[in-house]
Structure formats: C-alpha cells, structure tokens
Amino acid sequence: MLVIKNLKGAINGKTILKGISLEVKPGEIHAIMGPNGSGKSTLAAVLAGRDIVEVTEGSVLYYGKNLLEMSPEDRSKGGIFLGFQYPIEIPGVSMVNFMKTAVNEHRKHKGLEPLSASDFLKLMREKKELVEIDSKLANRSVNEGFSGGEKKKNEIFQMAMLEPKLAILDETDSGLDIDALRIVANGVNRLKRPDNSAIVITHYQRLLDYIVPDVVHVMYDGRIVKTAGKELALELEEKGYDWIKKEVDNQN
C-alpha cells in the first residue's frame, strides 16, 4: 500500500531525510526505532503532508498514487492517520464538534450521507470504550487541559473514529505511564484488521511488548540503517543504539 523510494527531505534548508526506502504491505505493522534526531518524526510529517518539510528527492506511492501531490486533508480522507507526538489544543472547539466535522468529511469523500446526531453520538460512545476514555471528554475542547496521557488516548480514540488504512503513530508511547501505555496499545491492537497497516515510531522498546511488529527498522542520521524482524527490538533494548551508530560510522 505504501512504497517509499529514496526519499530525501529538508527543513529550513537542512537535510534531515537522506534517502529513505520502505515498503508497507496491507496488514503489516512496522516499527521505526532510532535515537533522537534521527529523522523519525520528520518522516511521519512528510507522510502526513506537513509543509515545513521540503521533499528534495525520491517518491512516495500510496495505493499506486503519488502521495506527495495530495493535500493533507485528502491523505486523511484516503486513509492515512497521524497520531501526533504533541497533540494540538484547539480552545473552544468541542471534541464532539471536531470529530463530527472530521467523520462527516470522511463520509462525504466516500459518497456517504453525514451521520445523524444520534448515530454519531452512538459511534462516539462505542469508540470511547475502546480506549477507556472519560466520557466527559466529548464536551471538552480538543486537547485543552488534557493530561499527557489523555492527549495520547485521545489520539487513539480519533484513530478509532476514522478507521484509517495506514496509521502512523509518532512516539505515541512517550510520556505515558504503564497503564496508559497498555490502554493505548490495546486500542491499537483491537483496531487491527487484516487489510490495515501501521507504522509505529518509538524511541523505546517497551511499546513493542504490547504491539508486536512484523518488521523493525532502525533509523539513524536520516537513513534506515537496519531492518529485521521483531527480535531486533529486543536486541536494541539490551544493547542500546551505540553499536548501530558505531557500525554505521565505521562504514563511512
């Protein structure tokens, strides 16, 4: 579903991504790990269409279409979901109103009628249970005054509402205590279907105790320097990133 070839990208003229190639097939979960500053979040930003990243080379195909030419909202409606590392607050806009607008945009894209208020609230109730989120959340403003854990749960909740084909979770585990981590991971696992995929970006291995990846990639200095099965994550947990850095630096 997603084919990235030799992707290079810069922020403010500084090259961050130095040639990424990656293929994600339906049903796969890919973990992208790596030390801070290796370009993981920048890759997520490019895939979601954030315009602060300038793509200088390479291509990204999503179901055979040129993803880089699509607007962020069309990517969303096409099934790409980004779980933000730092979810944004929108004061005065209730979660109900926000999600209703989003869900109905997605439905319009699929040629469906907007959901009635009661159907929408029913859907929202179902999905809220999935992430064990406080039911008062619906009336609160988007992420405003949410704790760190609530914000991350709220991202998974939105993912559940939008049922993406490709979910990109950018450090969704950072700042979570172990209970919240389990809830977030359970949410992701329960949303898993044979035809949808996820890219899980994480700094630590612990999330991967709960979300079991098919493939683990290690990013370092703007490149994917190692790709293997789930056992790679355990190796990284044990040995840290230094041996990889050394390996790469020696090659250069």
CB of 146 to other proteins, least distance (A): 13
Q: How far apart are the first and last CA of the chain?
A: 33
Q: How far is the CB of 237 from other proteins (least distance, A)?
A: 31
Phi, psi of 81 (to 5 degrees): -120, 135
Shortest spacing between CB 94 and other proteins, in angstroms: 8
Q: How far is the CB of 93 from other proteins (least distance, A)?
A: 4
For strands 141-142 and 2-11, give the pairing.
unpaired
CB of 98 or CB of 210, closer to other proteins? 98
Residues 6+ apart with CB under 8 A from 179: none
Q: Provide, rounded to whole angstroms, the least separation between the CB of residue 108 and other proteins.
A: 9
Nearer to other proteins, 73 or 249 (CB): 73
Location of structure tokens 């090259």: 15
The token pair at 250 is 């020696």
DSSP 2: E
Q: Which is nearer to other proteins, 45 or 244 (CB)?
A: 45
Per CB under 8 A, residues contacting other proteins are: 48-51, 71-73, 75-77, 81-82, 84, 87-94, 97-99, 101-102, 105-106, 109, 141, 158, 162
Q: Would you tell me how many other CB atoms lie within 10 Å of the CB of residue 191?
A: 18
Please say which residue, 99 or 211, places its beta carbon nearer to other proteins.
99
Q: Which is nearer to other proteins, 59 or 141 (CB)?
A: 141
CB 18 within 8 A of CB 221: yes
